[in-house]
Amino acid sequence: MDAAGRRVPFDAQQVDAPLSRSAVFLTVTIGPTPEQLKTALEVVAGIDDLVKSVGFRDLGANLSCIVGIGSGAWDRLGRSDRPAELHPFAAIAGPKHTAPSTPGDLLFHIRAERPDFCFEFERLLFEQLGDSVEVVDEVNGFRYFDARDLLGFVDGTANPTGRGMADATLIGDEDEAFAGGSYVVVQKYLHDLGTWNAMTTEQQEAVIGRRKADDLELDDTEPQRAHKTLATITDDDGNEFDILRDNMPFGSPAAGEYGTYFIGYTRRLWVIERMLQRMFLGDPPGFHDRILDVSSAVTGATFFVPSLQLLEGIADGLTTS
């Protein structure tokens, strides 16, 4: 194919774009004025054009971006309808650990095989947004060896594949006005690697529920359930409700900061909410996820990811009066 016939491989809002080597997770709030809201929404409405403008420089970089809209921002759109499950992230206060709820009107999940493409996209994004938004959180993630987290375990093994991807992540006829969209939950976790690395490999494997070297599942030690069990939600017949995780490590050795950015896409928001309740409150109650003893959640936010068609019209009808 010649240069004139080439095209950027992924549209904006394409949840099933491949997992990447680099990512930026950007959460912002929109300023209080109607002018700031209109500017921010006009920028996100044109996000696909920005993806193509930057991504065309190297099609092999596989640049993509997904925009999520928070519950508070949705309330400002002046629409009479809303996604059925969209609401603010509900903080969870467990006996020992807490999942906080933090602000967020817009989420930008920027992915590419090259970190310079993430950087350039974000630079141009802020050039367009101007003073319409305020940054709440920015995390630069990276692929760590063979898709491992900084705890040394493979992350995302249970992700859906093939036809199961759409069923797990995209809203269907159950909420027809928002079909093709998705929900996404994000949390930033900071790890205590000193405590973790002082544990034996066998102790670590019991916490995660998988072997460290080859990622094979291990049986739980009842009544304490492993992370992989608490993070798996099933129906009454034992069928799993999959979600798509695109978690990434981040950190700064110089600052002593090591973490995992959790990001989960789902057709059914309640699935991730139940997963987090099991982790923080325990199942059975009192037996919380032992990964939380070394991993502290410091952010928590929920967003609706509109289909590209819906996103492109998101600013229609807005006025600054």
Kindly report the number of other CB atoms within 10 A of residue 298's CB atom.
Answer: 14
User: How high is the pLDDT of residue 317?
Assistant: 77
Strands 295-297 and 182-191: antiparallel
Per cent of the chain over pLDDT 90 is: 89
User: How high is the pLDDT of residue 318?
Assistant: 81
Q: What whole-number distance in Å separates Cα of residue 30 and Cα of residue 72?
A: 10
Per cent of the chain over pLDDT 70 is: 98
Run of H or E including 204 = helix 201-208
Convert the pLDDT of each residue in 231-267 to its tens digit. Answer: 999 998 999 999 999 999 999 999 999 999 999 999 9
Are the C-beta atoms of residues 84 and 181 closer than 8 Å to each other? Answer: no
Band (4; pLDDT cuts 50, 70, 90):
very low
Q: Which of 298, 301, 299 is nearest to 192 (CA)?
A: 298
Are the C-beta atoms of residues 140 and 21 closer than 8 Å to each other? Answer: no
User: How high is the pLDDT of residue 252?
Assistant: 97
User: How high is the pLDDT of residue 321?
Assistant: 61
Q: Indicate if 155 belongs to the active site.
A: yes
Q: Which of 303, 312, 296 is nearest to 73 (CA)?
A: 303
Q: What whole-number distance in Å separates Cα of residue 271 and Cα of residue 268?
A: 6
Band (98; pLDDT cuts 50, 70, 90):
very high
Query: How confident is the model over 81-101, as a mean pLDDT?
Result: 97
Whether residue 1 is predicted with pLDDT greater than 60 in this model: the reply is no
Determine which one of 105, 137, 155, 242 is catalytic.
Answer: 155
Whether residue 57 is predicted with pLDDT greater than 60 in this model: the reply is yes
Convert the pLDDT of each residue in 109-163 to its tens digit. Answer: 999 999 999 999 999 999 999 999 999 999 999 999 999 999 999 998 889 998 8
Are the C-beta atoms of residues 209 and 157 closer than 8 Å to each other? Answer: no
User: How high is the pLDDT of residue 88?
Assistant: 98
Are the C-beta atoms of residues 32 and 40 closer than 8 Å to each other? Answer: no
Tokens of 177: 């006005």
Convert the pLDDT of each residue in 168-214 to its tens digit. Answer: 999 999 999 999 999 999 999 999 999 999 999 999 999 999 999 99
Whether residue 222 is predicted with pLDDT greater than 90 in this model: the reply is no
Whether residue 61 is predicted with pLDDT greater than 70 in this model: the reply is yes
User: How high is the pLDDT of residue 5?
Assistant: 55
Tell me the whole-structure pTM to 2 decimals: 0.96
Whether residue 97 is predicted with pLDDT greater than 80 in this model: the reply is yes
Q: What whole-number distance in Å separates Cα of residue 51 and Cα of residue 62?
A: 10
Whether residue 276 is predicted with pLDDT greater than 60 in this model: the reply is yes
